[in-house]
């Protein structure tokens, strides 16, 4: 069984920062891509950022220059550093990991107040 456990969400004022973490555990072989996805209430979901095993990254236009995705392969952990947060960043953030199949975390709420 594979588990992805996110942490680091919470409530922050606009302009503030949060760092999300996602640790992958269980019966999983080499993890290829890892990513963060978000879904705001009443809106379509959005792929926020992704990173390959070698560290190549890509970002949604809405977060470029503000968010940074990184990973620690030895720890099977992916991070999302979120700076200059805006109220429109409010959403449930999910991490994803690919190892033949995609696995999802349970999500962590990020709320940005204006």
Pairwise pLDDT comparison (100 vs 39), residue with the higher score: 39
Query: Mean pLDDT throughout 45-53?
Result: 97
Question: Is the pLDDT assigned to residue 1 strictly greater than 90?
Answer: no
What does the pLDDT read at residue 8? 97
At 42, list the tokens.
Answer: 């009443």
Which residues have C-beta within 8 Å of that of residue 68, sequence separation ≥ 6?
49, 80, 81, 83
Residue pair 82/17 in contact by the 8 Å Cβ criterion: yes
Q: Within 10 Å of residue 106's Cβ, how many Cβ atoms? A: 11
Cα–Cα distance, 73 to 51 (Å, whole number):
11
Q: What is the DSSP string of 27-71?
A: S------EEEEEE-TTS--EEEEEE-TT--EEE-TTTTTTEEEEE
What does the pLDDT read at residue 28? 78
Cα–Cα distance, 105 to 6 (Å, whole number):
6
């Amino acid at each position: 069984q594979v588990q992805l456990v996110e942490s680091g969400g919470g409530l922050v004022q606009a302009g503030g920062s949060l760092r999300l973490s996602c640790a992958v555990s269980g019966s999983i072989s080499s993890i290829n891509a890892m990513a963060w996805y978000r879904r705001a209430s009443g809106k379509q979901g959005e792929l926020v950022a992704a990173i390959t095993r070698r560290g190549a990254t890509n970002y949604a236009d809405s977060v470029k220059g503000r968010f940074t995705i990184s990973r620690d392969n030895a720890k099977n952990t992916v991070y999302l550093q979120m700076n200059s947060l805006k109220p429109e960043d409010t959403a449930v953030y999910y991490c994803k990991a690919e190892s033949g199949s995609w696995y999802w975390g349970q999500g962590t709420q990020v709320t940005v107040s204006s």
